[in-house]
Structure 1
Amino acid sequence: MKTKHIGITLGDPAGIGPEIVLKALLNHPEVYELCTPVVFGPLPVLKKYLTLFGMEASLISINDFKKAPEKLFQNDILVFNTPLVEPIPEPGQISAAGGENSFKAINAAIEQALEKNICAIATAPINKQSLKKTQIPFLDHTAIFTNLTDSHHTMTLFVTGNLRIFFYSRHIPFKEIVNALDEERLLETIKVCNQYLKQMGFENPHLAVAALNPHAGEDGLFGTEEIDIITPAIERARMANIRVTGPIPADSVFHLASRGRYEAVLSLYHDQGHIAAKTLDFFGTISLTLGLPFLRTSVDHGTAFEIAGKGIANETSMVEAIKAAARYAWEND
């Protein structure tokens, strides 16, 4: 049986994306047992990092999937060559060229996924400051994917072993978290989480909602958001026959979920869930974007400019992101 094509975007060329993508494909033959990976990005960037790290690979450029080779040999890497925006930034350098090259690779992968030439996309990290230096009107991966696919209810799901974490809000300043809490929106988010868990194969999923305040507010002693917003939304979700518990103090809910008490946790803000997942297994955590016309997976870390170009980046999360994209793509076909 011919394996499915999984797109892999190269990320910011000044970050660790090129390094972890090359390491994932050249050092992990199990990836090729699950799928046929296709790297999206400029060939000159890949060639630069192959030379820098002393790696050997045969880069096979394809822009027509009908002509893609069915059999690959050791160290063959299929590349959907995207136009290079020069100059190639040096490792660790914030630049408009880095942002534009990142975006062109993502855009090309999305186009091919919508045309069903690839069945899922695994993304290497991009840099928000480099994106900001361009005219591209998007802050991050999720915004790019949501807008370019005309999607409306995308959600991020972190997977770390048995722990699954959804996010109510993501990249907003900490001082705006409370103002972002809304009963109707929280109720809708709980419903969407329940729907996605069922799509992933859980017949009657049990969702936990993390509390915002210490000790879940302690009956209003440390804040009233649990009383005024979170609990009412949960009670309404239960009336809609959704199996949901909370609000549960954040210092225990993620541990309980990792032990199997709940199928997933709804984190109320970015760091609340990120800290839990990355403390449990920093390199093994992957991110899934649900609600798109296709599956997108990602590493759970950033461009790591401080170690870019040094050859010491750990590719585990990239490997797991590619493997997850391949596994879920098969199951959802």
Structure 2
Amino acid sequence: MTAHDAPLAVTMGDPSGIGPEIIAKMYLRRPDKRHWIVVGDALVMNHALSGLDADVRVRPIASLDETLFEDGTLNVLCSSQLRTLPPVSQVSAIGGRAAFDAILAAIRLARDGRVGGIVTAPIHKEALAAAGLHYPGHTEILADHGGAPKVAMMLANEDIRTVLVTVHCSLSEAIRKGDFAAQMDAIRLANAGAQALGIAHPRVAVAGLNPHAGEGGLFGDEEIHIIRPAIEAARAEGIDASGPWPGDTVFMQARKGRFDIVVAQYHDQGLIPVKYMGLDHGVNVTLGLPFVRTSPDHGTAFDIAGTGVADPSSLETAFDYALRLKASLPNLKADTP
């Protein structure tokens, strides 16, 4: 079985958040798309389904060889075996460790080609820290364990796509980290990510760091000495990159169809425009990995966990992106000279 034919793996996320609930709801709402497994904890998923009054049984499995795809059966590959449920809507070391163990188990499956990709439900950074795991998010875990020298975060919806030069760090650190090499990695991965989505010759817009893209050096010179040289080097490699464009207008231009994807310099510069369009259809894609990984564009939502009102739409969109991307696996990795 190849990764193209293999089922997707959906990690349960933090068991105290909405991840298990939206996974259960996705299973119930889409009976025509049930060729996937949960990687997580059987007790947690049983509890999530019981709150929905669903006629579904959890099938705990120790390996994919035990998987049984039939209606009414949710296969859960057990990465943990909790004896009691972690407290709902609360940060806990138990929840952080269980979420982390599920991610690592799914990564191992993906790297071995046993699953066609990973869709990750939300995790909580404080819960990871409480468990002694000092990762600010999925991207950094995947960078350490995913088997790729360079990764980047792409946020996408039907109107905008963006790749980040820097991810989870302070703004001052983002400025330091956004050097020539980081610019090149992001531009190459943006080009590869857009191609994986079916855009043969992507138009890659690179946002500036400073107001008005530095205004010719009046408001900062990173555009002159770092960003523009990277754009020129990318163009020499055959990438249709342009810029640096002012960060306050480049996403509007992309939405109007002038660009296919935008390289943003730091976390909020790229995420605010995407999230402003709505969380229901936004997807986070990790580029550069040897396998597909997507996630919904929202967090654990502790404020509504356990109430039964969580909307699975963004998870469903992430799942559909994973199906779409796994058919383009070779294009997900940037060619880095």
TM-score calculated relative to the size of structure 2: 0.90
- The equivalent position to 1:11 in structure 2, one of 13, 22, 25, is 13
Alignment check: 8 A CA contact 1:87 1:97 kept: no
**Which runs of 5 or more structure 2 residues have no equivalent in the other structure?**
331-337
State the alpha-carbon separation in 2 of the partners of residues 239 and 53 from structure 1: 55
- The equivalent position to 1:100 in structure 2, one of 86, 97, 100, is 97
Partner of 1:209: 206
Partner of 1:45: 44
Task: Give the secondary structure class of the aligned counterpart of 2:206.
Answer: strand
State the alpha-carbon separation in 2 of the partners of residues 330 and 78 from structure 1: 23
Q: How does 1:168-317 map to 2 (within 5 A)?
A: 168-317=165-314
Task: Give the secondary structure class of the aligned counterpart of 1:15.
Answer: coil
State the alpha-carbon separation in 2 of the partners of residues 241 and 289 from structure 1: 23
Residue 241 of structure 1 and its aligned partner are, at CA, apart by 2.9
CA offset digits 1:254-312 (Å, max 9, x no partner): 12212321121001111111111011132100111122121011111111111111111
State the alpha-carbon separation in 1 of the partners of residues 192 and 292 from structure 2: 15
Task: Give the secondary structure class of the aligned counterpart of 1:117.
Answer: coil
Task: Give the secondary structure class of the aligned counterpart of 1:207.
Answer: strand
Alignment check: 8 A CA contact 2:155 2:161 kept: yes
Alignment check: 8 A CA contact 1:250 1:272 kept: yes
Partner of 2:56: 57
**Which runs of 5 or more structure 1 residues have no equivalent in the other structure?**
none
Task: Give the secondary structure class of the aligned counterpart of 2:91.
Answer: coil
Structure 1 residue runs of 4+, over 4 Å off? none
Instruction: Tell me the amino acid that sits aligned with residue 37 of structure 2.
Output: V
Q: How does 1:17-32 map to 2 (within 5 A)?
A: 17-32=19-34
Higher RCO (CA < 8 A, seq sep 6+): 1
Task: Give the secondary structure class of the aligned counterpart of 1:250.
Answer: coil
| Higher mean C-alpha displacement, 270-279 vs 48-57 | 48-57
| Higher mean C-alpha displacement, 193-202 vs 92-101 | 193-202
- The equivalent position to 2:160 in structure 1, one of 152, 158, 163, is 163
CA offset digits 1:158-184 (Å, max 9, x no partner): 111042111100000123222222124
Alignment check: 8 A CA contact 1:7 1:40 kept: yes
| Higher mean C-alpha displacement, 303-312 vs 106-115 | 106-115
Q: 1:203 and 1:165, CA in 2 relative to 1: closer, same or farther beyond 3 A?
A: same
Residue 137 of structure 1 and its aligned partner are, at CA, apart by 4.4
Alignment check: 8 A CA contact 1:161 1:258 kept: no
Partner of 2:333: none
TM-score calculated relative to the size of structure 1: 0.91
Residue 41 of structure 1 and its aligned partner are, at CA, apart by 0.9
CA offset digits 1:31-64 (Å, max 9, x no partner): 33xxx11011111111122223433312122223
Q: 1:111 and 1:140, CA in 2 relative to 1: closer, same or farther beyond 3 A?
A: same
Alignment check: 8 A CA contact 1:96 1:130 kept: yes
Q: How does 1:310-325 map to 2 (within 5 A)?
A: 310-325=307-322
Partner of 2:334: none
State the alpha-carbon separation in 1 of the partners of residues 168 and 8 from structure 2: 27
CA offset digits 1:233-259 (Å, max 9, x no partner): 222322333211111112221122123
Task: Give the secondary structure class of the aligned counterpart of 1:281.
Answer: coil
Instruction: Tell me the amino acid that sits aligned with residue 27 of structure 2.
Output: L
State the alpha-carbon separation in 1 of the partners of residues 260 and 15 from structure 2: 36
State the alpha-carbon separation in 2 of the partners of residues 254 and 297 from structure 1: 22
Task: Give the secondary structure class of the aligned counterpart of 1:121.
Answer: strand
Aligned length: 328
Q: Over aligned residues, Cα RMSD in angstroms?
A: 2.1
Instruction: Tell me the amino acid that sits aligned with residue 287 of structure 1.
Output: N
State the alpha-carbon separation in 2 of the partners of residues 176 and 331 from structure 1: 34
| Higher mean C-alpha displacement, 124-133 vs 54-63 | 54-63
- The equivalent position to 1:72 in structure 2, one of 66, 70, 73, is 70
Residue 3 of structure 1 and its aligned partner are, at CA, apart by 6.1
